[in-house]
Amino acid sequence: MNREHLRALLPFMSLAILLAAVFYMQPRAMSYFGLNLLFNLAIPVALATVAQMMILMINDIDLSIGTFVSFCACVTATFVQSDPVIGYAILAGAILVYAGMGAIIHVRKLPAIVVTLGMSFFWAGMAILILPSPGGSAPDWLRTMMTAKTPFLPVAIIAPIIIGLSMHYFVKRSALGVLLRGVGGNEQAIERSGWSVLRLKAVAYGIAGLLCVLSGMALVGLATSADANIALRYTLLSIAGVILGGGEFTGGRVSPIGAVVGALTLTLAASFLSFLHLSSDWQIGAQGAILILVLAARLIFTRREATI
């Protein structure tokens, strides 16, 4: 096995170890319902993580994902539920704004980190305007879909597999995916071979926006209501998920399946800590410690490989 293989395997191994620890402490989790409960909230996190991956793939970073997903959740719990036409129009408009943001960042050569920080205020404001106090309700079909009793495997397992595989196909196999990774790897080379980097960046941001919309909708389907701060953690979770999954900050080196596994690992870490009966003071800290441990493990594997 070479270094690439080990790198690709590491996210799966961390997930497996964490899962084994959870099963050891709570054997009853080893069931259809147990798994569903453990990974339930992983679906929106996984969608937000692959959205962040789209942005990291072209060497940018999106710090507005948390507030944007919250905004989408608020729209879903209000307009999509009561006036579907207006609701979907708002969401479509939001995706266009995302694509436009990518275009402006490219044309004016702006630092993505600042533009997305600024936009995070914008989305937070919009979310508060739409839903000033927690509330709203999920559209019935969405609720049914998220809580469906699928045979053999629960939705919470099937959905991440579908997300991971379809993103893998798109990013690694399709022509557009190769071009987008090319933008991350060598922007000038893509430009000189006749492609419009402007258009490609707008497409990458647009797809990220679409994935965030899906994430917000999935979240409302699970939580049945929304509030303006419902997904604020997603900004940091999504970055951590991509990196845990073996992605890099630069060079278009990302792994869609790894990113989904990273999101699952982070969600599981939270459940694991609640099984430990850890004092709530240390919950956040322990999550940080798990993140550090997994990243340290990545280093050990790379080093061991390097010495061979």
Partner 1 sequence: MKMIENKIDAHATHSALVRGLVSFAKKQWIWAYFAAGATYFVTLLVVPTGGGAGALLYAALTFASFAVIVGVGQMFVVTLGPGNVDLSIPATMTLAGTLALKFMDTDSSLVVPGILIAIGVGLACGLFNFSLILVLRIPPIIATLSSSFLFQSLAIWSNRGLRIKPPEVLANFSTGGFGGVPNVAIIAVLVSIVGWFVLERAIAGRWISAVGQNQRAARLAGVPVNAVRLGVYTGCAVLAGLTGFILACFSGGANLNMGTEYMLMSIAVVVIGGSSIAGGNSNVPGIWGAALFMFLIVSMLNSYGLGAGVRLMLTGLIIVSVVALASRTGRRP
Contact residues: partner 1, CB under 8 A = 61, 104, 108-111, 113-115, 117-129, 132, 236, 239-240, 243, 249-250, 279, 281-289, 291-292, 295-296, 299
Minimum CB separation from partner 1 for residue 86, in Å?
A: 18
Q: What are the structure tokens assigned to 54, written together?
A: 């789209």
Shorter beta-carbon distance to partner 1: residue 37 or 187: 187
Q: What are the structure tokens assigned to 23, written together?
A: 């099963």
Shorter beta-carbon distance to partner 1: residue 84 or 93: 93
Shorter beta-carbon distance to partner 1: residue 21 or 236: 236
Shorter beta-carbon distance to partner 1: residue 39 or 68: 68
Shorter beta-carbon distance to partner 1: residue 96 or 113: 113
Q: HEC states along the chain?
A: CCHHHHHHHHHHHHHHHHHHHHHHHCHHHCCHHHHHHHHCCHHHHHHHHHHHHHHHHCCCCCCCHHHHHHHHHHHHHHHHHHCHHHHHHHHHHHHHHHHHHHHHHHHCCCCHHHHHHHHHHHHHHHHHHHCCCCECCCCHHHHHHHCCCCCCCCHHHHHHHHHHHHHHHHHHHCHHHHHHHHHHHCHHHHHHCCCCHHHHHHHHHHHHHHHHHHHHHHHHHHHCCECCCCCCCHHHHHHHHHHHCCCCCCCCCCCHHHHHHHHHHHHHHHHHHHHCCCCHHHHHHHHHHHHHHHHHHHHHHHHHHHHC
Shorter beta-carbon distance to partner 1: residue 143 or 253: 253
Minimum CB separation from partner 1 for residue 296, in Å?
A: 5
Q: What are the structure tokens assigned to 185, written together?
A: 């790897």
Shorter beta-carbon distance to partner 1: residue 24 or 121: 121
Give the length of the chain: 308
Minimum CB separation from partner 1 for residue 75, in Å?
A: 14
Minimum CB separation from partner 1 for residue 153, in Å?
A: 31
CA distance 81 to 205: 26
Minimum CB separation from partner 1 for residue 133, in Å?
A: 12
Minimum CB separation from partner 1 for residue 152, in Å?
A: 36
Minimum CB separation from partner 1 for residue 127, in Å?
A: 8
Shorter beta-carbon distance to partner 1: residue 113 or 153: 113
Residue 75: is it exposed, middle or buried by C-beta count within 10 angstroms (0-12/13-18/19+)?
A: buried
Minimum CB separation from partner 1 for residue 279, in Å?
A: 8
